[in-house]
């Protein structure tokens, strides 16, 4: 099997496995473990750093600084993996936080609830769409197919930037309701 076919198979498997595993683990609670309440601001911070590094990487490649761009993008992939691990760990040790509810009373406005869920749902859907886009873009660089890399990166970049920024927005919107 050639490298391109191997990468395509790995990308397909990974792009399906990650959302499925996350969905399964989201329902798992580790008993008798302290909730990892310190993680949400950390992974929101990682999302913010990823957004900043994405923008710096864009400037770097526009200036012809390919090596800097490559390093920044690898860091962004590592940030995304760290986010994913922390996100899963938090949700395996903590009950879900309902938006707008304090002591069993809904205190947020209906408008803010609609805005929150619109952002959250688009964030989740696009984060799933993003997985194969990033993996394909990265595989194209490994295969030294920079023309294909550039085509897919033009699609992946704005989605990745949106996902990282909305991750921070979602955190700030839900954080008042953490118990």
Residue range 148-168, pLDDT digits in tens: 999 999 999 999 999 999 999
pLDDT band at residue 62 under the 50/70/90 scheme? very high
pLDDT band at residue 84 under the 50/70/90 scheme? very high
Residue range 17-41: mean pLDDT, rounded:
92
Side-chain half-sphere CA neighbours of 78 within 13 A: 7
Evaluate if residue 143 carries a pLDDT over 80: yes
Tokens at 2, concatenated: 């050639």
Evaluate if residue 179 carries a pLDDT over 80: no
DSSP strands (E only) in the chain: 101-102, 105-106
Is residue 43 a contact partner of residue 170, using CB atoms and an 8 Å limit?
Answer: no
b/e 103-116 (16+ beta carbons within 10 angstroms → b): eeeeebeeeeeeeb
């Amino acid at each position: 099997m050639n490298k391109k076919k191997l990468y395509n198979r790995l990308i397909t498997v990974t792009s399906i496995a990650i959302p499925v595993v996350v969905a399964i683990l989201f329902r798992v609670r580790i008993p008798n473990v302290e909730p990892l309440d310190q993680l949400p601001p950390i992974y929101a911070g990682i999302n913010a750093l990823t957004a900043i590094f994405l923008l710096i990487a864009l400037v770097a490649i526009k200036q012809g600084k390919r090596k800097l761009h490559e390093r920044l993008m690898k860091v962004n992939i590592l940030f995304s993996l760290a986010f994913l691990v922390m996100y899963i760990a938090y949700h395996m040790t903590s009950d879900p936080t309902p938006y707008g509810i304090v002591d069993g009373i809904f205190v947020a406005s209906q408008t803010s609830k609609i805005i929150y869920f619109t952002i959250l749902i688009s964030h989740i859907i696009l984060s799933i769409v993003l997985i194969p886009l990033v993996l394909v873009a990265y595989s194209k660089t490994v295969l030294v197919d920079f023309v294909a890399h550039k085509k897919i990166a033009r699609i992946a970049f704005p989605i990745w930037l949106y996902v990282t920024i909305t991750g921070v927005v979602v955190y700030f919107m839900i954080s008042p309701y953490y118990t």
